[in-house]
Amino acid sequence: MDRTSFRDMNCSVAQALEVLGDWWTLLIVRDAFFGARRFADFEASLGIAKNTLSDRLKHLVDKGVMEKIDAGQTGPRFEYRLTEKGRDLHIVLTALRQWSDKWVYGPGNEPLLVKDKRTGDPVSELRVTDSDGNPLSLRDMFSVAGPGANEETLRMFAPAAKKHRR
Amino acid sequence: MDRTSFRDMNCSVAQALEVLGDWWTLLIVRDAFFGARRFADFEASLGIAKNTLSDRLKHLVDKGVMEKIDAGQTGPRFEYRLTEKGRDLHIVLTALRQWSDKWVYGPGNEPLLVKDKRTGDPVSELRVTDSDGNPLSLRDMFSVAGPGANEETLRMFAPAAKKHRR
DNA sequence: GAAATCTAGTTGCATAACAAGACCATATAT
DNA sequence: ATATATGGTCTTGTTATGCAACTAGATTTC
């Protein structure tokens, strides 16, 4: 009666959630982007229980999102740093932030703004675009099985869609 | 000893996770994008327990991400559909998918490809850009307290960053 | 028209995940 | 020698989640 793992699902979203889907995990990554490095940093800024933080950091290190560095000439002093894999999550956090700014807080109530250093303007909203940078709406795209697809993928991906189409 | 809620954190990422952060939730949304609508659709394609699915759907409806529609002339027959708020999560799923395609599966092993209907090319990678559409790297941006910030935000956002800067 | 089936769940039980706080080991500071 | 800081582990409870059984209205089959 373990919690169902997403490991065997041949789906990128599922795999991402297998790494990031636990309660607290993405907030730890967020804090890392804000400069938190030490165990106590995360603990203080999140108010997370030590054991949970310990688990999550281990998991993130294990998955290659963060690395644990012994920064200690002076006693037990470790730093947890984002790897490149971890830094690449910036786009995921941006997507979540923008969604929440729009739908939870609403325009004009954002707790935090991310701006372009050069112009001072807020960064623009993420959009899915074609290769030339033109925005694509949901109706302008379609999904197909990729090179890594298998039957599992297909079962997942074309679930009931067909059954209910009129 | 409840699970810590993120409700009181004045942070967009935390609020997004308060809505989406549970195990299974984003996979349910993913399935909705793939055309799943009925209780049994989600159940079959995910292999999720009925009670958990029931909880999650209630929560998503409650948060305005999906709506429950009685599509039943013929018996108990409901449909769960994404609202506009829910459809806007497409960008979040895209970010997660692209991250995983890059870092978990690797190029050439994607289980699923999303393509431009017009050209047949895969949609391009999400990027954070300035108002003119020029890509910005992490170093090209900075964060500031927004109009909705409070002390809580600041404590979160400038946690240890200062302490450890040399 | 009775029995089986389908849909959309709820309920009860077992276990894993999570939270809170006590405790611990190493090292430096006083 | 004592106190403090760091970075945890351990113990103990409470939820969350999974699994299976059951329910209830409506439809289909016999």
Which residue is listed with tokens 């009181």? B8
The secondary structure of A129-149, three-state, reads ECCCCCECCHHHEEEEECCCC
**Which residue of B100, B134, B138 is the best one to mutate when testing the A interface, meaning the one whose CB has the most A CBs within 10 A?**
B100
The one-letter amino acid code at B106 reads G
Whole-structure pTM value = 0.92
Tell me the mean pLDDT in the region B117-135.
93
CB of A54 within 7 Å of some strand D atom = yes
Kindly report the nearest CA distance between residue B130 and chain A, in angstroms.
5
Q: What are the tens digits of pLDDT across the range A19-68?
A: 999 999 999 999 999 999 999 999 999 999 999 999 999 999 999 999 99
Among A21-25, A75-79, A149-153, which stretch is predicted with the lowest mean pLDDT? Answer: A75-79
Tell me the mean pLDDT in the region B116-121.
94
Smallest Cα–C1' distance to nucleotide D26: which residue has it? B75
CB-based contacts of B44: which residues, under 8 Å, 6+ apart? A159, A160
| Cα angle, residue B154 at apex, residues A69 and B91 outer, rounded to 5° | 75
Q: Across the interface, do A13 and B131 touch by the CB < 8 Å criterion?
A: no
- The candidate with the shortest Cα–Cα distance to A57, out of A38, A70, A71, is A38
The one-letter amino acid code at A24 reads W
Could you tell me the domains of chain B? 12-87 (1.10.10.10), 127-166 (no CATH)
The tokens for A118 are: 């050069």
Q: Is the pLDDT of residue A75 over 70?
A: no
Tell me the mean pLDDT in the region A65-88.
87
Give CA–CA dist B51/A79, Å, rounded: 41
Q: What are the tens digits of pLDDT across the range B62-115?
A: 999 999 998 766 666 889 999 999 999 999 999 999 999 999 999 999 999 999
Rg (CA), chain A: 20
Which residue of B111, B150, B159 is in closest CB contact with A35?
B159
The tokens for B95 are: 């970010």
Report pLDDT for B108.
94
Task: Select the more confidently predicted residue: A70 or A111.
Answer: A111
SS3 content of chain A, % helix, strand, coil (to 5): 45, 15, 40
Phi, psi of A71 (to 5 degrees): -100, 30
Q: Is the pLDDT of residue A71 over 50?
A: yes
Give CA–CA dist B16/A71, Å, rounded: 33
Which residue of B114, B115, B143 is in closest CB contact with A112?
B143
Report pLDDT for A159.
47
| Share above pLDDT 70 across residues of chain B, in percent, rounded to a whole number | 91
Residue A71: alpha-carbon gap to chain centroid: 26
- The candidate with the shortest Cα–Cα distance to B24, out of A19, A95, A6, is A6
Kindly report the nearest CA distance between residue B32 and chain A, in angstroms.
9
Q: What are the tens digits of pLDDT across the range B8-59?
A: 999 999 999 999 999 999 999 999 999 999 999 999 999 999 999 999 999 9
Report pLDDT for B162.
46
Nucleotides of D under 7 A from a protein CB: 5-11, 13-21, 24-28
Q: Which helix (H) or strand (E) holds B123?
A: none
| Share above pLDDT 70 across residues of chain A, in percent, rounded to a whole number | 92
The tokens for B136 are: 């910005």
Is residue A161 very low, low, confident or very high in pLDDT (cuts 50, 70, 90)?
very low
Kindly report the nearest CA distance between residue A76 and chain B, in angstroms.
16
- The candidate with the shortest Cα–Cα distance to A90, out of B152, B55, B138, B92, is B138
CB of B1 within 7 Å of some strand D atom = yes
SS3 content of chain B, % helix, strand, coil (to 5): 45, 15, 40
Average pLDDT, chain A: 90
Give CA–CA dist B114/B122, Å, rounded: 6
Cβ < 7 Å from nucleic strand C:
A 1-3, 22-24, 47-52, 55, 73-76; B 1-4, 38-40, 50-51, 54, 57, 68, 75-79
- The candidate with the shortest Cα–Cα distance to A41, out of B160, B57, B67, is B160
Average pLDDT, chain B: 89
